[in-house]
Amino acid sequence: MRLITAVVKPHRLDEVKEALRSAGVRGLTVTEASGYGRQRGHTEVYRGAEYTIDLVPKVRIEVLVEDDDAEQVIEAIVKAARTGKIGDGKVWSVPVDTAVRVRTGERGPDAV
Amino acid sequence: MNGADTAFVLISAALVMLMTPGLAFFYGGMVRVKSALNMLMMSFISLGIVSVLWVLYGYSLAFGEDSGAGLVGGLDHLGLAGIDAGTLTGGRTGIPVFAFALFQLMFAVITPALMSGALADRVKFSAWSLFITLWVTVVYFPVAHWVWQPDGWLYQLKVIDFAGGTAVHINAGVGGLAAVLVVGARVGFKKDPMRPHSLPLVMLGAGLLWFGWFGFNAGSALAADGTAATMALNTQVATAAAMLGWLGYERVRHGAFTTLGAASGAVAGLVAITPSGAAVNALGALVIGVAAGTACSWAVSLKYRLGFDDSLDVVGVHLVGGVIGTLLVGVLAVDGVGGAAQLGRQAAGAFAVMAYSFTVSWLLARFIDRVIGFRAAEDDEISGVDQAFHAEAAYDFSAVGGVAQSRAHVPALAPGASGAGGAPGAGGAPGAAIRSKGEKDEKNEKGTTGKKVDV
């Protein structure tokens, strides 16, 4: 099993969700997140006082998948999240030892 | 008694009443989450305190028979003694004194509330309540007497202050400045980001102020007549022009048409047109509006240069706007009134109010600081005065903030100990930092050439 984490622009969330549904993913977790990458925040002005806002809003999407599905799911996320402009985000995956479905106690790939 | 005039003044009183909650929203949206409720309450408490004082002695000090030299009213009308529903004042055939007193009460309520913006985030609520109690007593009531009571010395001097440029706006602007100089800057002033937490609230507040101001200005005619109509029109024209003036200056200077700028410009215009009444025509109102909008937009940057933390720009908007409006009436007044002589009278009136209000407000603030301490404890200021003085949080972030529990079920729980909602946003926006012009692009450049970072 692998845990795929994607940090993307908030307004791409609906597209990413739709792409994941099409790719057969049955569950995901979304968190509001803040961060910066190469785009480094933005500037806001309040009555002439300028503020640099380093951390910009992002959404963090986490999906647990079986090993064989990982590449396809990553591709689906990347395609759906891309706008081509700086600040589109990042996707990565890590191996997962254990997964348990809380309701039934199923373990491993059955729990995905 | 004139029924039309009476109805108009009563409705105007209700309009002006709505300005104080409007001001609360206008200011409340501009502070950080951790002190939003306190900001609302600093205005709201004035509705409570000043209304009570007004009946007890405020009306008498402001509008009672002059006690000599035009400085303050006598004590004949303590508890509104000697006035009943049939007692009439002013107007063509008179309106009930009760209608006039109610209308004027609303001015007395909003004036101290205006000062609260200067002291955002950092004063004890008890000290603030005491401050406005003393301030209306020794500053506002006498100054209102000077300006509006026919025996008042500025009235006698023929200073034009139709609806309160000197008595309300210059008075509050200077009073706020004096209090700031005693209380000092917020922790983190000029270093930490202090972004407005809700610009929609600011816009709502500005809209309510604009609406209520028709009562404030036109209602000051105390009659449903041509003067009221002229003033209502002038109010709209000046406010519109000031909003455009502020936005234009801001676009040139800072590159954007901001929401906060639109709201602030409108308020600056409302302030500046207040003293003129029907003494100027619509074109004069236009000039006053543009002048106030651009000048105030510039003036709000002074606090950073001069180093006084007038948090929400009471000086930059109300004092500067009030002075501009008061002086321009001297120049722009029609019907042969305007000219050098009137300008001199206007300047004298503005200066007299500034000198008196600054001195007495400073002494009062010092007195309160000495006796009970004006300023909140540093810990309370940093974690937020909402929790410290009101035991509440403006917004419920309960998904991660914990579930609120009733004290009835958890007797040992101290206010604030549940942890609900207090922490989020406590330090302003995460990752934001204030900077002055000049270092503008340093960070962006570093970002593109520097080390690659996650996300």
- Cα(A2)–Cα(A22) distance, rounded to whole angstroms? 19
CA distance B26 to chain A (A): 14
> Any CB–CB contact under 8 A between A49 and chain B?
yes
CA distance B239 to chain A (A): 18
- Cα(A83)–Cα(A72) distance, rounded to whole angstroms? 19
Which chain B positions have a beta carbon within 8 Å of A43's beta carbon? 440
Q: What is the CATH number of the domain that holds A76?
A: 3.30.70.120
> Any CB–CB contact under 8 A between B351 and chain A?
no
Average pLDDT for consecutive 10-residue bins of chain A (112 residues)?
Answer: 95 94 92 87 85 88 94 96 91 95 91 86
- pLDDT number for residue B423: 41
Please choose, from the candidates B443, B439, B441, B435, the residue with its C-alpha nearest in 3D space to the C-alpha of residue B192.
B435
Complex ipTM: 0.72
- Cα(B327)–Cα(B272) distance, rounded to whole angstroms? 10
Each residue of B179-192: pLDDT tens digit? 999 999 999 998 88
- pLDDT of B402 strictly over 80: no
- pLDDT number for residue B336: 75
Which chain A positions have a beta carbon within 8 Å of B258's beta carbon? 45-47
Each residue of B322-349: pLDDT tens digit? 999 999 999 998 877 778 899 999 999 9
Question: What is the CATH T-level fold of the domain B3-371, as seen in this structure?
Answer: Ammonium transporter fold (1.10.3430)
| Test the B interface: residue of A31, A47, A54 with most B CBs within 10 Å | A47
- pLDDT number for residue B83: 94
- pLDDT of B450 strictly over 90: no
Q: How large is the average pLDDT for residues B17-38?
A: 97
Residue B20 CA: distances (Å) to CA of B119, B130, B134, B312: 17, 18, 19, 16
- Cα(B188)–Cα(B225) distance, rounded to whole angstroms? 51
Number of domains in chain A: 1
Q: Verify whether the Cβ–Cβ distance B250 to A48 is below 8 Å.
A: yes
Domain that holds residue A106: 2-111
- Cα(B125)–Cα(B103) distance, rounded to whole angstroms? 27
> Any CB–CB contact under 8 A between A41 and chain B?
yes
> Any CB–CB contact under 8 A between B431 and chain A?
yes
pTM of this prediction exceeds 0.90: no
- Cα(B392)–Cα(B378) distance, rounded to whole angstroms? 19
Please choose, from the candidates B433, B391, B429, B309, the residue with its C-alpha nearest in 3D space to the C-alpha of residue B32.
B429
Which chain A positions have a beta carbon within 8 Å of B441's beta carbon? none
The domain ranges of chain B are 3-371
Decide if B174 contacts B361 (C-beta within 8 A).
yes
Q: Verify whether the Cβ–Cβ distance A50 to B437 is below 8 Å.
A: yes
- pLDDT of B19 strictly over 60: yes
- pLDDT number for residue A50: 84
Give me B30's structure tokens.
């501009």
Find the angle CA(B179)-CA(B183)-CA(B189) to the nearest 5 degrees. 110
Please choose, from the candidates B333, B379, B326, the residue with its C-alpha nearest in 3D space to the C-alpha of residue B349.
B326
For residue A89, give the chain B residue with the closest CA. B455
- pLDDT number for residue A49: 86
